[in-house]
Amino acid sequence: MAFLSNRRRRARLVLELDDAALSRLLKSLQATAGAIATTDLYMAQISRFLDQSRADWDRRTHQLSVLAYRLSESHGPRAWATREPRNVSALVLSAWAQLERGRSRGRLEDAAGIADRCLRAAELAPEDPTPWVVLLGLSRLECRRQPEVFGLWNEVLTRDRWNREAYLSMLRYLGPEEMGSRIQVLDFVDAVRARTPANAPCAATELTAQVLQYHSVLTRGGVEALMARNHWSHASAAQALTRAAHSWAQPGFFHHAAALADLNLLAYALMAAERRGEARPVFEAINGTVAAWPWSVGGDPVSEFEKARNRSRTGV
């Protein structure tokens, strides 16, 4: 992961995080959106770009997730998959973009079509975890039973042992808001912590679980919400936060594509716990690159980030 300079930069929401090549692609796609033969340009640019990350499943998963989100309302992904039905990148991007559209609208237009494109991609590229990542997301949205969902999760892990998207997806699926319980979350987090390298792409699973629990207290309102910061004084929460604060912001510790998103999570949690001195170097490492979650829980993510960063510096 390439940390930026120590000079403080204005906060901005950046879905691609520090992936400069992905940022250039998104700008290029925007610039050619109204051009003649847009689909041909679109296909050529994205296909060439994704071919470069085929050997890096972590980077490929991140890039496809961002592209799917940004292009979820575009006809491009489906047109590309229709024109190149044996192109794995086209199939996965089309399925993922449709899944993102379904999430935003609260309903899926063609779940069978999403599954079909993923299964075709998986057959064409048996080593690629991304079709299974999308199938895992689809199973969550359809509230499938746990044996089926765990089966899909294991398909991802067989191909990419520490796939960040898969671990975080399972974490939310096992929560009480979806198809699990608080006990299942605790068991899952304990198992992940016991076997995961400290700097793995999925290393933020434990702290994500703590932030989700903190949010569940906030949403109850009343006195519980006012006392929500006490969550971070519990041993499990405090220890998870201390482990992350000790190493995550060190230069060279993280190398995965979404490392800046994990540092945003850490800065947020440290500020929620009123550990401002420890948050300052994390904000410096982030240097203004804002990830939407978890800042968006409190309002506009950029505004919430800026307020927290200022508080970490002034102590107010």
The DSSP result for 114-139, as a single string, is HHHHHHHHHHH-TT-SHHHHHHHHHH
Confidence of residue 314 (pLDDT cuts 50, 70, 90): confident
Higher per-residue confidence, 23 vs 106: 23
Asked whether residue 264 carries a pLDDT value surpassing 60, the answer given is yes
Average pLDDT over residues 108-113: 94
Q: How confident is the model at residue 223 (pLDDT cuts 50, 70, 90)?
A: confident
Instruction: Kindly tell me the number of DSSP H helices and DSSP E strands found in the chain.
Output: 17, 2
Contact 167/205 with Cβ under 8 angstroms?
yes
pLDDT digits (tens, 9 = 90+) for 23-72: 999 998 887 765 545 667 778 889 999 998 888 999 999 999 999 999 99
Q: What percent of the chain is predicted at pLDDT more than 70?
A: 94
Average pLDDT over residues 93-108: 95
pLDDT of 190 higher than 90: yes
Whether residue 310 is predicted with pLDDT greater than 70 in this model: the reply is yes
Residues of the chain above pLDDT 90, percent: 83
Tens digits of per-residue pLDDT, 118-128?
A: 999 999 999 99
Cβ atoms of 129 and 160 within 8 Å: the answer is yes
289 by DSSP, 3-state: which?
Answer: strand
DSSP 250: S
Q: Are 22 and 63 in contact (CB under 8 A)?
A: yes
Average pLDDT, the chain: 92
End-to-end C-alpha distance for the chain, whole angstroms: 31
pLDDT at 35: 52
Give the domains, in start order, of the chain with CATH numbers. 1-19+228-316 (no CATH), 32-196 (1.25.40)
pLDDT band at 278 (very low <50, low <70, confident <90, very high): very high
Cα–Cα distance for residue pair 297/316, rounded to 1 Å: 21
Say if residues 175 and 185 touch (Cβ distance below 8 Å).
Answer: yes
What number is the average pLDDT over the span 140-153?
96
DSSP 21-72: HHHHHHHHHHHTTTSTTHHHHHHHHHHHHHHTTTT-HHHHHHHHHHHHHHTT
